[in-house]
Structures are given as structure tokens and as C-alpha cells.
Amino acid sequence: MAYRKKNGKDTWHWCRNCSNWPTSDYKEQQSKPTSGELCNECKAKDRDGDCTK
């Protein structure tokens, strides 16, 4: 699963249907981030079974 965050920001996203999913100027990694914040919208979508990964 891909985790993305905008360059210069601290919030990681993993749901491609998140309204803040970075599409340009971002860092991507395949493992869960060990630093920074996890997106609250992604957390909610994941919890509700509505996360497109």
C-alpha cells in the first residue's frame, strides 16, 4: 500500500479517494510511516470501509 505526503507537509495519506490525496510534489513510500501525522480523513475512510487503497 502506498503512503503519500506533500513535500513540506507532515500528514501522510493512504486512501486514494481522500480529498487531500497528493497527486503532485509528494513523497511516496510503501511502508507505514514512522514519523509525521496520519490523515484523519484516511483514518475515517479506513474505519468505515470506504478507503480506496
Collect all residues with Cβ–Cβ distance below 8 Å to 25 and sequence separation of at least 6: 6, 7
Handedness of CA 30, 44, 41, 33 (dihedral sign): negative
Q: How far apart are CA 5 and CA 48, in angstroms?
A: 22
Q: What is the pLDDT of residues 7-52, one digit of tens each?
A: 999 999 999 999 999 999 999 999 999 999 999 999 999 999 999 9
pLDDT of residue 45: 98
Query: Are 41 and 16 contacting, i.e. CB atoms less than 8 angstroms apart?
Result: no
3-state secondary structure of 28: strand
